[in-house]
A = this chain, B = another copy of it.
Amino acid sequence: MRAMEKKTTDYSKYVSELTRAARRAALRMLSTSIDEKNRALEAVASALGTSTDFLKSENRKDLDAARAAGLARSMIDRLTLDDKTIAGIVTAVREIARLEDPVGRIDKEWTTAAGLHIQKVRQPIGVIVVIYESRPNVTVDAGALCLKSGNAVILRGGKEAFHSNQALGKVMDEALRKAAIDPAVIQVVNTTDRAAVGEILKRTGEIDLVVPRGGKELIQRVVTESHIPVVKHYEGICHIYIDEECDAALAEKVTVNAKVQRPAICNAVETLLVHKSCAENVLERVLEALKSRSVELRGDDRVRRRFPWVKPAAEQDWFTEYLDLILSVKIVDTLDEAIEHINHYGSKHTDAIITTNEEHARRFCEEVDSAAVLVNCSTRLHDGGVFGMGAEIGISTDKLHARGPMGLEELTIYKYVVRGTGQIRE
């Protein structure tokens, strides 16, 4: 009991140090120029590039532990820092340095009848905590995005990548000191004890935003434990609707890509809806193509009457993010029924229509209530990189602040700057 109390006290002090240093750094960033920020990013990129041996040797500790723990091959791949992945990380930092500066940008500007000149100016949010899993490149991506957008970030990665994240944090810390930037703009938490996260989540007021990036359980924990504002990156129960008027070859190509290219990613398709008039030839073609790529198909009764080899879908299937080579399939009577299905069962993430009918496309885009609605292209394209926004912290399923890919601009808020000549309220 006493030991436990001591532990909690320790984290309390440690977390206070983290948040106090972060706040100080965030306030300093308000008077740091974009040139200084970009020079710091270049210093970080350069330091990471010359620390390859150190990063690889620290990463080896995580890889050894992962192998000892019997982690899946795909997990170990994601954990690995080798010459190529480090070069990729360095390139990403340099790309962030080249992106347009969102801070100080004037969103709107006007003068009122009373002669007040009002500007709505982009500002950093302040102190941001990112809680994430496995991939160590997130440590650098999130750190670089927050630095560029003038925020101070506290990074808490997963325990599998502990040594790698500490090493990346150390290299960035040293580079920032040399560049005369407060190193507390990027702090990596020095423990993966869940109790430390618990302590962080209590710090309403000291932290402006928490971004949990990982499984549903992690996000639920953050939302339940914390009263700090959160931008959530929940699951993607993504749909493709094949309209009665469509290009069958395009429908096949897009659906196959959306399901099989990387099924474990949130923007992979999970449910296929098909208009009844396509239930013969188009659907057959699409299902055969999926089957030949080892996709397990689960259909409603109407699908199974036509394709008896398809497994039955239960009600729960329509609510399921498989993240695997599984697809649920349903025949609908109308576009309206497709839209209703998506708004009811979907997760407001990414939904696509395949159609040659412009009016159907327009209605789908207007009435489907999701972060991204796509016409005649793959759900897998809903991504900050593909959209041309540079790096991203994740894809938000929230309907406040940031929706979809969360990049530099989404790490900012605005303030009003008002200039007058003695105006008062009458």
Contact = CB atoms under 8 A, between A and B. Distances in A.
Contacts of A380: 424-425
B27 A112 contact: no
B369 A27 contact: yes
Interface stretch (A57-65, A182-190, A276-284, A359-367): A359-367
B373 A415 contact: yes
B425 A413 contact: no
Interface residues of A, number: 72
Nearest to A414: B403
B229 A398 contact: yes
Contacts of A374: 418-420
Interface in A394-425: 398-401, 403-404, 413-425
A386 B425 contact: yes
Given A118-B387, A382-B418, A403 B399 contact: no
A140 B251 CA distance: 48
Contact of A421 (B223, B376, B382, B422): B376
A257 B204 CA distance: 33
B367 A400 contact: no
A414 B231 CA distance: 15
A259 to B, nearest CB: 11
A423 B381 contact: yes
A376 B422 contact: yes
B415 A372 contact: yes
A104 B403 CA distance: 15
Given A110-B388, A374-B418, A401-B413, 17 more contacts: A27-B343, A27-B367, A30-B367, A30-B369, A113-B388, A125-B399, A125-B400, A126-B369, A208-B400, A247-B422, A253-B424, A257-B424, A371-B416, A373-B418, A375-B419, A381-B424, A401-B401
Interface of A: 27, 30-31, 104, 110, 112-114, 116, 118, 123, 125-126, 204, 208-209, 223-224, 227, 229-231, 247, 250, 253-254, 257-258, 261-262, 343, 361, 363, 365-367, 369-378, 380-383, 386-388, 398-401, 403-404, 413-425
